Amino acid sequence: MNSIKKPVVIFGNMASASTSKYYLDNDSDHAVIGFTVDKENIISPKHEGLDVIPFENILNEYPPEEVSILFPVGYSTHDPRGTNVFRRNRYECIKSMGYEFINYISSKAIVASNVVIGDNVLIYEGAIIQPFVQIGSNVIIRSGSNIGHHCNIGNHTFIASEVTIGGKTNLDSEIFIGLNSTVSNSVNIASGSFIAANSFINQDTQVGSDYRGVPARRYE
Ligand X SMILES: CC(C)(COP(=O)(O)OP(=O)(O)OC[C@H]1O[C@@H](n2cnc3c(N)ncnc32)[C@H](O)[C@@H]1OP(=O)(O)O)[C@@H](O)C(=O)NCCC(=O)NCCS
Q: By CB under 6 A, which span of 5-13, 56-64, 166-174, 192-200 interacts with ligand X? A: 192-200
> CA 22 to CA 103: how far, in whole Å?
14
Q: Which helix (H) or strand (E) holds 93?
A: helix 85-96
Supply the minimum distance, in Å, between the C-beta of residue 38 and ligand X. Answer: 22
Residue 58 vs 183, nearer CB to ligand X? 183
Supply the minimum distance, in Å, between the C-beta of residue 1 and ligand X. Answer: 37
Answer for which of 51, 197, 200, 208 binds ligand X (CB under 6 A) is 197
Residue 98 engages ligand X in binding (rule: CB under 6 A): no
> CA 54 to CA 13: how far, in whole Å?
11
Pick from 106, 105, 68, 69: which is nearest to 90 by CA? 69
Binding to ligand X, residues 146-165 (CB under 6 A): 160
Residue 14 engages ligand X in binding (rule: CB under 6 A): no
Q: How far apart are the first and last CA of the chain?
A: 54
Supply the minimum distance, in Å, between the C-beta of residue 154 and ligand X. Answer: 18
> CA 154 to CA 142: how far, in whole Å?
15
Q: How many CB atoms lie within 10 A of CB 120?
A: 27
Residue 187 vs 196, nearer CB to ligand X? 196
Q: Contact positions toward ligand X, by CB under 6 A? A: 77, 142, 160, 178-179, 196-199, 212-213
